[in-house]
């Protein structure tokens, strides 16, 4: 799995109208086996999210990573 800025390179961070981050897998239908084995919301998934949360939060907070809100 290729990583970028502390998270999977296929993770796309978008922002809703209120500016809150939303996370989308851009390769969900073709995701690797390691992602398929990690069930969404499972203890393993939550542990991985907790481990990587700081790195993802830093990217989300960076002004260059935040697109202008759509109106």
Q: What is the pLDDT of residues 53-68, one digit of tens each?
A: 777 677 666 655 455 5
Residue 69 is predicted with a pLDDT of 53
pLDDT surpasses 90 at 5: no
- Is the CB of residue 69 less than 8 Å from the CB of residue 17? yes
pLDDT tens for residues 8-56?
889 888 888 998 888 888 998 998 888 888 877 788 877 877 777 777 6
Residue 26 is predicted with a pLDDT of 92
In a 3-state reduction of DSSP, which class is residue 4? strand
């Amino acid at each position: 799995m290729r990583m970028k800025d502390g998270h999977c390179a296929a993770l796309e961070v978008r922002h809703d109208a209120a500016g809150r981050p939303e996370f989308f897998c851009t390769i969900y239908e073709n995701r690797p086996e390691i992602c398929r084995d990690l069930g969404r919301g499972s203890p393993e998934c939550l542990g991985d999210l907790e481990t990587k949360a700081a790195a993802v939060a830093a990217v989300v907070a960076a002004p260059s990573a935040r697109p202008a809100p759509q109106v």
